[in-house]
């Protein structure tokens, strides 16, 4: 094909690509592939032509747009975890404190009730967890393998099951907050009292601190995430009940957006907790099994995981947001501001 005919056939398309930019990623990709075909043809038959340099320039421009979009998407993820989520949580610190104190009170009810009434813990587990779970736990303690439940399953299948179960419970805890917060309250009650009863079993059998060394390897992140999910559920309920200066619909939609952001952000924490429970907790359980020849986990390692998990949650969800706020950062309508000016980095 002669160069003049080649130009006449494609010039309108090239002009469109150069002067009418698109943000549609599929169309951008199609344009880039088309230009590469044209550029390949031009380099083969008209290597020194100006039209070849022109096509190359248009293709380079689209390539830079694609690369820039990818870079911006990656930067958006960093901004979310570094600024947006901590600032969002800072906005609801009072709700978080309320949720934490409420959960602690439910745990205390579980402990006190179990101590007062010997039948309370067995009945609670039979009705809210699994029938026979209490008797099975006592049986394991009597056999000298109090934490054997953590090594009864294939680690990978256990990991998948636990991660899925915990994430689904967290989402239900948040979503049921739409029922004026009552649904979230019930989930918090069940989990809090269950934890109190569960810990009382081991402390009453003289295995309290051993249970802390074993169970809280994964429990620190898991229980913290449950409390944070409860906070998100109450945010959703408050958005519906207390609209403030917004219409009830606007308030609910804003609260729902914030609650779901918090809930989704918990997924990595639940995954790490499930990994600890499936692959690490059972090693620590071997340490406290009588006459066990299986490989155990040194107590200092357990303490390091416990302390690391605790300070991670405390720092990221409490201390770091306060620090950002003191440094002039805040969140307004989903935008990150520093000293009242939009912040992007």
pLDDT in tens, 240-255: 888 877 888 889 999 9
205 lies in the same domain as 56: no
Provide the pLDDT for residue 335.
Answer: 77
Find the distance separating the first CA and the last CA of the chain, reported in whole Å.
49
Question: How many domains does the chain divide into?
Answer: 2
Q: Calculate the alpha carbon distances from 123 to 105, 119, 129, 205, 217 in Å.
A: 20, 6, 10, 18, 27
Q: Is residue 269 part of a domain?
A: yes
Query: For strand 329-332 and strand 341-342, is the pairing parallel, antiparallel, or unpaired?
Result: unpaired
Same domain, 98 and 71: no
Same domain, 141 and 270: yes
Which pLDDT belongs to residue 33? Answer: 78
Q: Same domain for 52 and 192?
A: no
- Does residue 222 contact residue 166 with C-beta atoms inside 8 Å? yes
Residue numbers of the domain that contains 9: 3-76
Q: How high is the pLDDT of residue 43?
A: 76
Separation in Å, CA 224 to CA 85, 167, 323: 16, 13, 21
Residues of the chain with pLDDT under 50: none
Q: Is residue 104 part of a domain?
A: yes
Q: Tell me whether residue 110 is in a domain.
A: yes
Same domain, 148 and 30: no
Q: Assess if residue 341 is contained within a domain.
A: no
Q: Half-sphere exposure of residue 227, counting CA atoms within 13 Å on the CB side?
A: 26
Residue-level pLDDT at 255: 92
> Looking at the structure, do residues 17 and 166 belong to the same domain, yes or no?
no
């Amino acid at each position: 094909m002669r160069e003049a005919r080649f130009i006449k056939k494609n010039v309108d398309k090239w002009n469109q690509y150069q002067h009418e930019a698109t943000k549609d990623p599929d169309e951008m990709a199609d344009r880039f592939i088309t230009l590469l075909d044209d550029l390949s043809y031009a380099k083969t038959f008209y290597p020194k032509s100006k039209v070849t340099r022109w096509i190359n320039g248009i293709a380079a421009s689209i390539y830079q747009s694609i690369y820039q979009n990818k870079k911006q998407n990656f930067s958006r993820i960093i901004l979310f975890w570094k600024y947006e989520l901590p600032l969002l949580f800072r906005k609801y610190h009072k709700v978080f404190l309320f949720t934490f104190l409420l959960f602690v009170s439910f745990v205390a009810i579980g402990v006190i009730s179990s101590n007062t009434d010997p039948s309370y813990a067995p009945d609670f587990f039979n009705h809210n967890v699994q029938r026979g779970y209490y008797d099975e736990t006592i049986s394991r303690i009597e056999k000298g393998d109090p934490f054997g439940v953590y090594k009864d399953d294939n680690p990978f299948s256990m990991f998948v099951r636990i991660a899925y179960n915990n994430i689904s419970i967290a989402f239900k805890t948040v979503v049921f907050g739409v029922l004026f917060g009552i649904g979230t309250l019930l989930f918090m009650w069940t989990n809090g009292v269950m934890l109190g009863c569960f810990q009382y079993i081991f402390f009453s059998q003289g295995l309290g601190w051993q249970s802390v060394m074993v169970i809280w390897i994964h429990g620190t992140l898991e229980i913290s995430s449950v409390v944070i999910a409860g906070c998100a559920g109450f945010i959703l309920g408050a958005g519906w009940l207390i609209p403030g200066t917004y219409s009830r619909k606007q308030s609910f939609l804003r609260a729902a957006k914030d609650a779901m952001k918090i809930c989704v952000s918990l997924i990595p924490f639940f995954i790490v907790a499930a990994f600890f429970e499936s692959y690490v907790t059972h090693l620590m359980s071997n340490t406290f099994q009588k006459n066990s020849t299986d490989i155990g986990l040194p107590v200092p390692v357990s303490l390091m995981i416990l302390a690391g998990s605790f300070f991670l949650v405390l720092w990221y969800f409490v201390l770091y947001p306060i620090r950002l706020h003191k440094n002039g950062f805040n969140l307004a309508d989903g935008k990150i501001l520093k000293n009242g000016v939009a912040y992007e980095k």
